Amino acid sequence: MSIVDRFLKYVSFCTTSDENTGMTPSTPGQMEFARYLADELRTIGLKDVTLDNNGYIMATLPANEDGHPVVGFIAHMDTSPDASGKHVKASIVKAEERDYIDACYAGQDVIVTDTTTLLGADDKAGIAEIVTAMEYLIQHPEIKHGKVRVGFTPDEEIGQGADHFDVKAFGADFAYTMDGGAIGELEFENFNAAACKIKVHGLNVHPGYGYHKMVNSMRIAYQLAVMLPRWETPEHTQGYEGFYHLAGMNGTVEETTLSYIIRDHDRARFESRKRELEHLARKVNCEFGEGTVEIEMRDQYYNMREKIEPVMHIINLAKEAMTAVGVTPVVKPIRGGTDGARLSFEGLPCPNIFAGGENFHSRYEYLPVNSLKAARDVILEITKKA
């Protein structure tokens, strides 16, 4: 099966994750896809294929030459809840046929949707690249390499992709997530990340008789929200700049919930941002009464840079592999996170390599075919050079 056909098959599975189910995987479509993948990995000839009850897949390409480290490649099966991933209608067009495709892809074949759903290149492109590279190596035993481990995870998009990943069982010396964006991206810095849920409690009475009685939780929630710095939001930040992102709001007079994500590359600024939200909650409680605002904060992942810097040879290996296949490495910080961030802190150094897609989490997501193939070739080169 060609890499394009494989990717198009993968996006036919609806694997949108959902942080509200309390299950792992969080949605049944992910387990359906996982079963398909596990069978496919066995069919192409990988060994030790396992699928656990939480939807984690691991498999082995045995070494055919001694003296190499064990390299891992990881991608995630779920797609973002930010846009529908159900009934994806994908097609291949020329870049010029869609005005949202960057001009740098002029003349290229690009995989798009009908813009009613996301595409799922994040991260089914990464899975297709890994599986196709492994199949190629199995079919070409003359290419010498060490042992390779493959891992596919659920629920990365809701920050839970590494929750049940067994680093010891995976057994790699280092790994790469194939979960980056445009061609050439190589990332070993990411945001420190936290999720914050704020509940605001009010009191509802007939609005005609609300004088000094009604407490409108929505108005209080709005007051709290506008106390945060206006310019420290995703739409006003770039590079290493952090932000507060109001990702969800749901409310009535009686109760309003605000869902925030907090991001910053610098750990000290990250901790300061969390303290600021807690400070604002206390200020609102001082005005409206203790218990009006409840705040729940949880860290999601941290900047992997401190874990990668001692093993920078794995970054150099990725750069060399990219250069060998004609791709210019673009080293940049991730304005997001990957499973690799948490895995790096669990003892598996795991930087991030491009999967090739653009406009992730959007109905205008797209995947240049050349980028898809280039990422596959980078995997092959890393395996050969490790």
Answer yes or no: 156 catalytic: yes
Tell the residue number behind the tokens 């049944």, with chain if given: 28
Locate 312 and state its tokens.
């920078």
Say how far apart CA 49 and CA 88 lie, in whole Å: 28
Determine which one of 40, 122, 123, 156 is catalytic. Answer: 156
Answer yes or no: 78 catalytic: yes
Please enumerate in sequence order all residues whose Cβ is within 8 A of that of 209, keeping only pairs 6 or more positions apart, or say none.
Answer: none
CA angle 131, 136, 142 (to 5 degrees): 140
Locate 385 and state its tokens.
């050079």
What is the arrangement of strands in the sheet containing 148-153, beginning at the earlier edge strand?
A: 47-51, 57-61, 148-153, 71-76, 174-180, 352-354, 185-187, 330-331
Tally of CB atoms within 10 A around 170? 19
**Cα dihedral 119→152→323→341 (10° resolution):** 100
**Catalytic site positions:** 78, 156
